[in-house]
Structures are given as C-alpha cells and as structure tokens.
Amino acid sequence: MRISDSSRMDRLVSTTMELDKKIATVSQRASSGIALDVPSTDPVNAAAYLRSRGNVQRLEGYGDAIRDARGELELAETSFSQAQDIIARTREIALSAANSTYSAQDRSQFAAEIGQLREQLIAAANQRGPNGYLFGGSETETPPFTTAGVFQGNSEARSLEVNPSMTVTINGSGAKAFTSAGGEDVFALLDSLRVAVSTNSSQDITDLGKRLADAHAQVGIARGDVGYEMQRVDMADAAQANLKVLWEKRQGEASEIDPAKVYSQLSALQNTLQQSVAAARTQLQTLSLNRFG
C-alpha cells in the first residue's frame, strides 16, 4: 500500500518537532548541570538520587535530636558544676567553723550563709530545661525537690535517639546526685551542719565537713555520667556529619550530568534534526513539482 505524500510530510513534521523538544531538554541539562529533570530521564539514577536525598533528610532529623540532647546535657552539666561549687563553699565554712574560738555572732553568720547556700543548691537541683525539670527522671513537670529537700521525682532515664544505632540519656540523676540513693542526703547534711554551727558543736561540724567531701564527690559522679553522655552525643554528631557529606555527594553524583555524554547526545540530535529538516525541504519541493509541474 502506497503511503501518500501528505502522510510522509506529516511524519517528517512530527519527527522534527519531537527532535526539537529533545534538543531543548538536553540543552537545559547541559546549561543547568542537572540530569534528572524528571525521573523518567534516567530511572536508575533517579532511584539513587531519591534514596540519597531521603538519607540526607533523615540525617538532618537526627541533627535536630543531637542539638536537643546536647542542650539538655550541657545545662545539666552546668547545674551539677554549680552544685559542686556550693558544696565546696559549704565545706569551707565547716572547716572554719570547727574552730571553737569563733563568737556566737560569727557562728550565726556562718549558719545564715549555710542557709543561703542550701537555697542555691535547691535551685540548682530544680533546674528546668526546654523540656521540663532536668533531675526528676520522667517527672519533668514537677520540681524534683521540695523546699524541705524531699525528692519527689524518680530514677527513670529520659532518652533520645541520635542516630539509627544510638540512644543517649539526656537527663542527669537527681536521686544519685543529692539523695541517700547516691550515698548522702545532701540537703539533710546541710541542715545538720547549720544546726551544728549554730550550737558550736565542734565534733559534729568536723564529722559533717568530712561527709561534705563525700557529697561533693557524689555530685561529681552524677556529673560524670552526664559528661559521658555528652561524649556519646559528640560521637553521634561527628558520625552524622560524615554520613551527611557522603550522602550529599551521592545525591549530587546521581543528579549531575556527564558533560561529554550530554554534549555528544546534543550533537547527535542536532545532526538528526538537520537531516530531518533537509528531508522535509526535499519533500516540499517534490510536492510542489507534483502539484504545479
């Protein structure tokens, strides 16, 4: 069956238009440097690109968790450091007050300062972070310690996932740091010292001063636990940053063009287009001769 001249012409026009679209697409890739204008352009690289982008986004989510964990832990570490400073000052007072030559007025001033330090210690133990009280375990909405120094929290750890294989504890233990669960009831110890200083009980002051050294070390242990978790957060942060760089690189590799390949493809399409235009021109000339010759 003979193909009509008009059908041939229609096919040439359609082919030319399709080639023109392909050239426009390839030219856009060449100028932008991006190969994946639509997934169908390169299904294999498109899948690699989407997988890499998904991993980058997940890592960015872990980056938020790392920042939250670091913020909580840094605040806890600072609060424990303040608590140790307060206990150290209280012990200095005990060492001084053990000297029985001080007057009743001197002892009253010592006792008053111990009372003030105790209030500061309560404030440090009741430190509040962005997500609630730091040292009450899972009881984040209630101050861990009453003004009487009674612990009303629990020992549960609050944790946060900072990468697919690591979870860190983001709260310090108020029970371990300040109650008999850690060795000494620190607030009861300060209460006893204040009474001993007020009554000039030298032996009691000396004994309590020694126990304050233990209390200082006790808070230091809880502080060390927080420091350990901070180190783990730093490790997770470093690993997350390295993985993010790797996946971003793979994402870029999946979406970037191969310049030599693209320009070769563009040259071939342009040659084909020229041939198609030439064929169309020849066909038009043939149609004109047939019609008017």
In whole angstroms, give the CA distance from residue 202 to residue 198.
10
User: CB–CB of 154/137 below 8 Å?
Assistant: yes
Residues 153 and 281 grouped into a single domain:
no
User: Residue 212 domain-assigned?
Assistant: yes
How far, in Å, are 27, 108, 109, 206 from residue 101 at the CA level? 95, 13, 14, 14
User: Residue 72 domain-assigned?
Assistant: yes
Quote the domain boundaries for residue 264: 260-287
Residues 195 and 280 grouped into a single domain:
no
pTM > 0.75: yes or no = no
Q: Where does the pLDDT of residue 43 fall: very low under 50, low under 70, confident under 90, or very high at 90 and above? A: low
Residues 161 and 281 grouped into a single domain:
no
| Count of structural domains within the chain | 2
Q: Could you tell me the CATH number of the domain that includes residue 120?
A: 1.20.1330.10
pLDDT tens profile 111-161: 999 999 999 999 999 999 988 999 999 999 999 999 999 999 999 999 888
Residues 201 and 269 grouped into a single domain:
no
Residues 192 and 277 grouped into a single domain:
no
Which token pair is 267? 């040259």
**Mean pLDDT to the nearest integer, 228-241:** 83
pLDDT tens profile 100-117: 788 889 999 999 999 999
User: Residue 38 domain-assigned?
Assistant: no
DSSP string of 220-240, one letter each residue: HHHHHHHHHHHHHHHHHHHHH
Residues 187 and 280 grouped into a single domain:
no
Residues 105 and 174 grouped into a single domain:
yes
Q: How far apart are the first and last CA of the chain?
A: 25
Q: What is the DSSP letter of 40?
A: G
**Mean pLDDT to the nearest integer, 43-47:** 54
Residues 150 and 268 grouped into a single domain:
no
Residues 168 and 266 grouped into a single domain:
no
Count of residues in the chain: 293
Burial code (b: 16+ CB inside 10 Å, e: under 16) for 94-109 equals beebbeeebeeeebee
User: Residue 39 domain-assigned?
Assistant: no
Residues 93 and 230 grouped into a single domain:
yes
